[in-house]
């Protein structure tokens, strides 16, 4: 994501503030070794287990893991008639996974005869994330997608004055926020729970998963559904935002001021 989304160098338009020019197609591919063992399970079987996976970065898309065929349980796969064409990679073949009395249709793809400029895809297979029962990075189960080694999450203590308002009413106010910066996204302020009027919030049923921060719980305000979220058990890169809430909704205003004395 970092490399292939603006302003990354492999994005279609990385920006003007550079002292280089990449000669080549606007749609770019970069493949490199993934540094750790990865395995996935389906229907009670380990469908692949590899220490030689390769991560493909492609302009505008999340990175995808490609697994050498010799590390795939091909006895669990059944070739289908489905095919798609990519002008940059070639014609993709698809396989269905059958295991434990279940089937995941067209859950695996590969390029048996890739285009010459992407010939390094030959002999590798990729797996759709959601059909798998579980994915593991080494022995830790991961959710959402594998972490991009070029993606960062940084949380920093701040003394900026932050106020959150809904229809002119102060919902939260603090001089001790955490400022979270994440590659490709705008900065977010996370406010300590004690500086939020929690009586105005109602826990909603929405949950989302971020591979870098963890599972988010959402909170609604009167007239602003899912206006706030928190990470009750954040992953290691985001431990500093435990016990904090962040706000974003068209009905909510977030105001910030510099620290006093600046």
Q: What is the pLDDT of residues 72-90, one digit of tens each?
A: 999 999 999 999 999 999 9
pLDDT at 216 over 70: yes
In the chain, which segments carry CATH 2.170.150.40?
A: 29-142, 153-257
Q: Given the structure tokens 């909603």, which residue do they identify?
A: 204
pLDDT score recorded for residue 161: 97
CATH of domain 153-257: 2.170.150.40
In the chain, % of residues over pLDDT 70: 98
Global confidence as pTM: 0.86
**Closest to 96 measured CA to CA, from 82, 78, 113:** 78
By three-state DSSP, how is residue 75 classified? Answer: helix
pLDDT score recorded for residue 262: 66
Burial call 235-257: b when 16+ CB within 10 Å, e when fewer? bebbebbbebbbbebeebebeee
Q: Could you check whether the bond before residue 7 is cis, i.e. omega within 30 degrees of 0?
A: yes
State the pairing for strand pair 134-137/140-142: antiparallel
CATH superfamily, domain 29-142, is Domain of unknown function (DUF427) (2.170.150.40)
Sorted by sequence, the CB contacts under 8 Å of residue 71 that are 6+ apart come out as 48, 49, 50, 51, 52, 53
Please list the alpha-helical segments (H only) found in the chain: none
**Closest to 28 measured CA to CA, from 9, 15, 2:** 9
pLDDT score recorded for residue 1: 57
Sign, CA torsion 94/98/104/107: negative
The residue with greater pLDDT, 238 or 262, is: 238
Q: What are phi and psi of 124, to 5 degrees?
A: -125, 155
pLDDT at 45 over 80: yes
State mean pLDDT over 239-251: 97
In the chain, % of residues over pLDDT 90: 84
State mean pLDDT over 208-230: 96
């Amino acid at each position: 994501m970092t490399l292939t989304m603006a302003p990354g160098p492999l994005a279609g338009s990385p920006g003007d503030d550079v002292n280089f020019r990449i000669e080549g197609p606007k749609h770019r591919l970069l493949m490199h070794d993934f540094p750790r063992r990865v395995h996935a399970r389906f229907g009670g079987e380990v469908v692949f287990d590899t220490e030689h996976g390769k991560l493909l970065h492609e302009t505008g898309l999340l990175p995808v893991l490609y697994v050498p065929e010799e590390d795939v349980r091909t006895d669990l796969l059944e070739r289908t008639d489905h095919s798609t064409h990519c002008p940059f990679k070639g014609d993709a073949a698809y396989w269905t996974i059958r295991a434990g009395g279940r089937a995941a249709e067209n859950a695996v793809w590969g390029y048996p005869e890739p285009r010459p400029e992407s010939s390094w895809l030959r002999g590798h297979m990729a797996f759709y994330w959601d059909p798998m029962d579980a994915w593991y990075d080494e022995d830790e189960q991961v959710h959402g997608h594998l972490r991009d080694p070029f993606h960062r999450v940084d949380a920093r203590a701040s003394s900026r004055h932050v106020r959150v308002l809904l229809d002119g009413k102060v919902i939260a106010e603090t001089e001790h926020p955490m400022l979270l910066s994440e590659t490709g996204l705008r900065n977010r302020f996370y406010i300590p729970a004690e500086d939020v009027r929690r009586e105005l919030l109602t826990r909603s049923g929405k949950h989302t998963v971020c591979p870098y921060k963890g599972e988010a719980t959402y909170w609604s305000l009167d007239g602003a559904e899912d206006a706030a979220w928190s990470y009750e058990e954040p992953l290691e890169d985001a431990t500093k935002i435990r016990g904090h809430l962040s706000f974003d909704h068209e009905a909510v205003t977030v105001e910030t001021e510099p620290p006093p004395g600046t």
